[in-house]
Amino acid sequence: MHVIKRNTQIWEELAAWCFLGPAVVLLLVFVVAPFVMSVILSFTNHRLVSPLPTKFIGFTNYSRLFQDVSFWQAFKNTGLFAAIVVPMQSGLALLLALLVNRRFSGIYFFRGIYFMPVVIPMVVVSVVWYFLLMYPEGLLNAVVRVISLGKAGPYDWLRSPSLALPTIILVSIWQGVGFQMTVYLAGLQNIPHELYEAARIDGASAWQQFLHITLPGLRNTHIFVLVTTTILAFKLFTQVEVLTQGGPLGTTNTLVRYIYVVGYRELRVGYASAASVIFIVIVLVISLIQRLLLREEREVT
């Protein structure tokens, strides 16, 4: 009997590894291996196309990187973008999830409308918004002129140093909020309705129900949404490349675009690898800090 049980356990473990095998291989090939190669190349002067041999130069790329004004500007722009987008997009997503977590005619239509921008590729979204924001004949400027009776506008939304980054922030929130809304909606639907019924019987208001039932019931959802939204915010690239190409005056350049330009346009692969390593470390540290803070808050409550 013990032998049969042992053989069954072995076959179950083999079956588990067979199912995990493809995912593990893909993870090693497309995540672990590129990161290891980036770390190795970051200590060299490797160029994408160059007759000169690759040489080990130690921490030279990192020291130059920390003195690069363009790198720090891209870092500041990315940090500012994430600091604004993460709370705004998460809060708006929770609000939309609360609105569509109701039973009335046409609810699935509204859910689909809010989620629709997510399934549209960001390149397509950016191109459409480019024509809407064109200066001076874009549709948005036309709307501004009509509303203000011709007293305001037109505005150069994409080439003004003070308007370019806020414009990209608004476009990004509009395109991505549907994903977080869906996650929050799933979390809301997992909260037992009996808790709300008991709270209403005890005389709790809608705000008290939200504070003491909804928010605690979404703790794990908050962690997932905040971490994933932060990672997506730091990966900002497509909308910047299509709408502003990092301008004007570098006010919308981001870390990912900086790495792309240095590595693929300037062909400095070693230097771009050093920037990639720093970028990955920054995202990892911020994600860990978020998880620790939310975990401590959950333990306290």
Give per-residue pLDDT as tens, 187-217. 988 888 888 888 888 888 888 888 888 888 8
pLDDT above 70 for 2: no
Q: Which range is least confidently modeled, 174-178, 203-207, 241-245, 287-291? A: 287-291
Mean pLDDT of 92-119: 84
Give the pLDDT of residue 215: 86
Q: Which has more confidence, 166 or 154?
A: 166
Overall average pLDDT of the 105-116 stretch? 81
- Report whether pLDDT(251) > 70: yes
Bond into 51 cis (ω within 30): no
All structural domains of the chain with their residue ranges:
60-300
Measured over all CA atoms, what is the biggest interatomic distance in the chain, rounded to whole angstroms?
88
Residue 144 CA to residue 141 CA, distance in Å, equals 5
Q: Which residues contact 6 (CB under 8 A, 6 or more apart)?
A: none
pTM for this model (two decimals): 0.85
- Read off the pLDDT of each residue in 255-280 and give the average, rounded to a whole number: 91
Given a cut of 50, whether residue 300 has pLDDT beyond it is no
Pick the CATH number of 60-300 from 3.30.420.40, 2.20.25.570, 3.40.190.80, 1.10.3720.10: 1.10.3720.10
Residue 77: pLDDT band with limits 50, 70, 90: very high
Residue 45: closest CA among 273, 275, 257: 273
pLDDT of 185 higher than 50:
yes
What is the helix (H) or strand (E) element at residue 181, kind and residue range? helix 164-189
Whether pLDDT at 67 is above 50: yes
With vertex at residue 51, the alpha carbon angle to CA 46 and CA 57, rounded to the nearest 5 degrees, is 30
Average pLDDT, the chain: 86
> Which is nearest to 242 in space by CA: 164, 126, 81?
126
Average pLDDT over residues 118-130: 89
Average pLDDT over residues 268-283: 90
Residue 88: the pLDDT is 93
